[in-house]
Each structure stands twice: as structure tokens, then as C-alpha cells.
Amino acid sequence: MDREKLEQDLRNHFSAEVKEAEPSRDWWHNAIARINESKHRSRWFGFMPKRRLAWVLVPVLVLLVGGTVYGASSLLSELFQKHAPQIEEAGLAQELDLSQTINGITVSLERVYADSNVVLVGFTVSGPDARYQPEVGELFTADGQNLPAMIGVGSRSKAIMGNWNSSELAMIYTFDTSSLKDVPSELSLILEADVADLPIIGESQTLAGPFRFEFDVPFHAGKSIDIGQTVEAAGVPVTLEQVVISPWGARAVLQLPNGDKYMPIVSFNLPNGDSVNGVFSKHMETAIVQYFTGDFTGQAGVWTMIVSELVSVDTTQQRLAGPWVFHFDVP
Amino acid sequence: MNESQEAALISRCQAGDQEAFSTLVEQHSRVLFGTAYLMTRDRGLAEDAVQGALIQMWKKLPSLRLHSNLKAWLVRIVVNEVNQQRRKKRLPTVPLEQAPEITDDLEEAETALVRDEDHQRLRQALEVLTVEQREAVVLRYFSDLTVPEVAAVSGEREGTIKSRLSRALDKLGEIMRKDEIFQDRR
């Protein structure tokens, strides 16, 4: 049989075989939903705030040893350098020496930072076993206001993809400060979190917690610019409500009809000529908040924000091509 | 989706954006499921493997370099998951020496459309391949990876993959030729 014909027959055959067996869209919806559940359980990279009720149900394995002093680990420094270099290089993070050990697992809170967009909380987890993961903590202000969790990023010592046999885990949690009304010079915060094991597949089990830390952190106020411009493209009006610029980065608040069904592809053109892409977005009740990382606080002048595309978040993959272009002045 | 849009999506995933992850996965859903299905030949096992792979993808995305070959990276995770499940669950793999003989009984095929008959013959012929040969053939001709990409996904040298593909195609060609001769004689 001719080799080329055989290769083409194989392509056709495989394609037909898969077509007969392909799962439905519902299956993919459910599979991705389970990822979200797993992600929320695993608390590894993106997450949602955990419910406090769950903590009540956790058997408390208590051996509290407070006050053990650790220097900020090199792993955590590397993580800050990688994920928040603008903060690390400017020396804006506050170093802390707070640690607790519960059930043989030690959580050390070592580095924190706060501004008008985020609070970054950096800590390490270590213990006799290797497969630990911190569950999402909850962060409260001293007056009890809960700051929603946004992102978690982590790294292990000897961090090689797929190698979990490492002794130390470093994490940075990012919490949203957009709900803070009064801008203080210093924030008093309380972090509570559990530590769980890290299964390859399946549900994790809480091993120890809650770990609780109270600490103060300088608050770096940024610039908040109310804009309120509406631009229409592809028959869709998009309104840029506000941009908040801080040393950590910037957030742009967008309003659009059925905004919860779309993910915007957004970029900024800065006064110095640089272009930066949005790194993640989240849906609020009536708005999409798009985040950019980098210190843009020195960028006074005319900014341009370009929403090049709106991509539907369902399986239809519908795309609305823009661009929606906004110009605004930053003092 | 162009490269910059994909890079933007990956950045968002790395920052924890679950919607971006959904979009990224759905772009590659057919190749992800199809690779698992063609390797396992079992829809349920393929779904399990893809589910496990999705979890692994999410966990490993932060380590992905922006300019990596995303499809090959995703396929590698699926292949690893299938192989891991194969080790755990002992998926029904057939050693070459125990592979079924290609049957001479074409009564069923006689009533089928020619297209279906061809598929049936090819399906039977593929049963003769070793697990490694089948994996290489699936990655090359379904997942549409290049030989270097197949080598990277399988953890083998390019020369090994070239040789493996060549032997697999020789074997399939020989079987299909025999079958054609048999059909002609009927």
C-alpha cells in the first residue's frame, strides 16, 4: 500500500473514530467545573475564598509553637522576584518573622505588601512530609472586613515540574483591596489558613490549621482615575469606568452588557510608548476588572486602553472583534 | 486564535484566571480527548485520563514558558496521564505476540459501506501495533505533532520515533495489502 495513502487513511480513520466518541459540551463543562472545584480545594494557583464553616468541621490538631524566627527564604525571594519584581526591586515588601507549627507543619509568614490594588502575603510551609499545599487563607482587616482572595502562586524547592519531593513550599497569596474605602497609611491585618496534603488526583485532606497571623503592613496608596468613557464597536457598548494605578500594577474597571459572558483581551499603551497586556481579569457583580502588573506610577500623561476582542467564556467560543479604544489622562 | 492571543491567555491562566483556562482548554479539547481515546480505545478511560490531565495542566501551567509549544505540552500531559492510568488500572493492552489474527471473515464488512469497511480493516490492523507504536502513530497522524514533538512527548530520541513510525507503517501497510489481495480474490 502506498505510504502517503496509508498516512492519509490513518488521519481519516482517527478523525472518524474520535468523532464517534467525542464527549458532549456538557461533559467539558463538567470537566472544567471539576477543575475549578479541584483548584479551589488544592488552593494552589487561582482560588476562591474558603468558607469559614469548613474550619469548624476540621478536627483541630493543635501544637502551637509561636514566635519561631525565620529569615525570608531564598525561595520566597525568588518567587517575589518572579511574580512581583516591581515590588521586590523597589524594596517595598515588608519583612516579617512570624511562624506557627501545628501538627509538625510549620507556616512562616515572611513577607507582605499592600497597596490600593492588592495585598501580597508571602509565606513558606515546611514539615516532615513533602506533599503540602496551603489552602486559601482568609484575610481580614482589624475591623473585620474580609479582603477577597484573587490569586495564589507557589514554588517548591528543587522545583522541577512533576517533582513534589521537596522539603519547602513558598507561596504568595494575592488579596483584593478594592473594597477598602478609607486609605490608611498602614493596614492591620489578620490571615487565617489551613494546610492540606497534595494528591495528584482527587480531594485533598486538611492536615493542620487554622494558622493565624496578625500583622501590620504599610499601605502604598495609588492613583485612582474616574473615567466613565463609553465606546461602541461590534454593536456592543463598553464603558471604562475607572483605572487604579499602584506600585503593584493597575486595574481597569469595565462595564458591558452581559459582561459575565465575556473575557476581554485588553492592553494599555503607556505615555512612554510601552504596551502592556492585561494578565488576568475577574468578574464582579456588574463589571469586569482587568488587571495589569508592573509599576506604572511614573507614567503621567495620556494612556490608551485597547479592548481588542471579547471572547465568550462558554464553549461557543464566540468572538466579538473590536477594537474598543479609550484615551484618558493620568496626572 | 493567534500566538499573541494565546500568550495572553496563558499569562492569564498563570495568574489564576479560570475563565482563560476554560477558553484555552476548549481550544484544544478535540485533540486532548482524541489522543486519550485513541490510545486507550475506551471512552470512559479516555474521559478519566482527560479529567486527570486537566487537573495536572492547571497545576503545571505556571511552569509553562510563554513561547512553549502549547499543544505539544498539553498532549504530553494527556499521554502521561494515560500511561499513568495504564500502570494503575492495567488498561487492556495487547502484547504483539498475543495480538489477534487479522480475520478472514469479512461477512460483516460485506454489508457495510465501503468507507466503514476501510475503517474496520484499519482498526483491526492497528490492533497489531505495540503500545509504543500505536502511541507514536496516534501522536503523529491524529494529534498532528511533528516527529521532534512526538519524541519530546514520548521522551524518546527523534531517531527512535522515526524508526518506530516507519516500522508501524510497514506493518500496517503489509496487513492492508494482504487484506486487499484477499478482497480481490473474493
CATH class of B1-92: mainly alpha
Enter the pTM of the model.
Answer: 0.53
- A45 and B16: CB-CB below 8 Å? yes
Residues A232-282: tens digit of each pLDDT: 998 899 999 999 999 999 999 999 887 777 778 899 999 999 999 887 777
Residues A132-155: tens digit of each pLDDT: 666 667 899 888 888 888 777 766
What residues does each domain of chain B span? 1-92, 95-186
Q: Is the ipTM of this complex over 0.85?
A: no
Enumerate residues 6+ apart whose C-beta is below 8 A from A5. none
Question: What's the pLDDT score for residue A67?
Answer: 25
Considering only the beta carbons, identify the residue of B23, B169, B172 that sits closest to A263. Answer: B23
Per-residue pLDDT of chain B (186 residues; tens, 9 = 90+): 666 677 777 877 777 777 778 888 888 899 999 999 999 888 888 888 898 888 888 877 776 765 567 888 899 999 988 888 776 654 433 333 333 333 333 333 333 333 456 677 788 888 888 889 999 999 999 999 999 999 888 888 999 999 999 999 998 988 877 655 444 444
Which value, in Å, is the radius of gyration of the alpha carbons in chain A?
23
> What pairs with residue A212 in β-bridges?
A192
- B8 and A152: CB-CB below 8 Å? no
Size of interface A-B (CB pairs under 8 A): 147
Please provide the average confidence, as pLDDT, over all residues in chain A: 77
CATH architecture label of A223-330: Sandwich (2.60)
Q: How many CB atoms lie within 10 A of CB A8?
A: 12
Q: How distant is the Cα of A18 from the closest Cα of chain B, in angstroms?
A: 5
* Chain B CA closest to residue A311: B23
- Percentage of residues in chain A with pLDDT exceeding 70? 75
Considering only the beta carbons, identify the residue of A14, A154, A313 that sits closest to B23. Answer: A313
Which of A48-52, A163-167, B8-12, B124-128 has the weakest average pLDDT?
A: A48-52
- B12 and A279: CB-CB below 8 Å? yes
At B108, which amino acid appears? Answer: E
Q: How distant is the Cα of A47 from the closest Cα of chain B, in angstroms?
A: 7
Q: How distant is the Cα of A64 from the closest Cα of chain B, in angstroms?
A: 30
- A313 and B19: CB-CB below 8 Å? yes
Helix B147-154 and helix B158-185: axis angle, to 10°? 110
Query: Per-residue pLDDT averaged across A88-106, rounded?
Result: 90
In the three-class reduction of DSSP (H, G, I as helix; E, B as strand; rest coil), residue A156 is classed as strand
Question: What's the pLDDT score for residue A157?
Answer: 59
The CATH T-level fold of domain B95-186 is Arc Repressor Mutant, subunit A (1.10.10)
Q: How many CB atoms lie within 10 A of CB A123?
A: 29
- CATH code of the region A41-220: 2.60.40.1630
- Is residue A53 over pLDDT 60? no
Closest CA to A28 of A263, A260, A311, A315: A315
Residue found under cell 477577597: A148
Which value, in Å, is the radius of gyration of the alpha carbons in chain B?
19
Q: How distant is the Cα of A69 from the closest Cα of chain B, in angstroms?
A: 30
| Interface list for A 29-68 with B (CB within 8 A) | 31-32, 34-36, 38-39, 42, 44-47
What residues does each domain of chain A span? 41-220, 223-330
Chain B residues in contact with A200 by the CB 8 A cut-off are 52, 55-56
